[in-house]
Structure 1
């Protein structure tokens, strides 16, 4: 029975990793969209929620907690960098 649980965990990790890679690839390839930074922040939030739930399902509450704490800082850093870049372009 333990073998089946490990197989299900491996499949869950593979599917989630594939989804994260596809979402990341699509966002980095498309550069002509207006306000692409907001789409990137949105997908970051979606991926964060998915990873948090996957860590909980895999029995890794410490990793889930660390990820839950650090991910909003990353989103804020991305938004802050984009905002400051726009301010620099407007002032010139």
Structure 2
């Protein structure tokens, strides 16, 4: 099926674009469902549910804290992501991250 895009009006092109976007979204949804079904089948073959495996992966993926606020020991930071305010303030005062290592 060949479409001559040069002969189409703007409205026709916009309509075609919307149809393509819908088709791509539908394709992605179908492919994800197929992938999930295959993953569930593989997990069952090994005696697990997919949820068991996913929960186990998430549980172990959290990074342990690397820095602790001496003024509030409950306040910790892994060293990843945005710096907490207490780290920013201390660095602005000339302290080093090493001062807060756990």
Bucket of the pairwise TM-score, normalised by the shorter protein: 0.3 to 0.5
Say which structure is richer in helix.
1
Greater share of strand:
2
TM-score calculated relative to the size of structure 2: 0.33
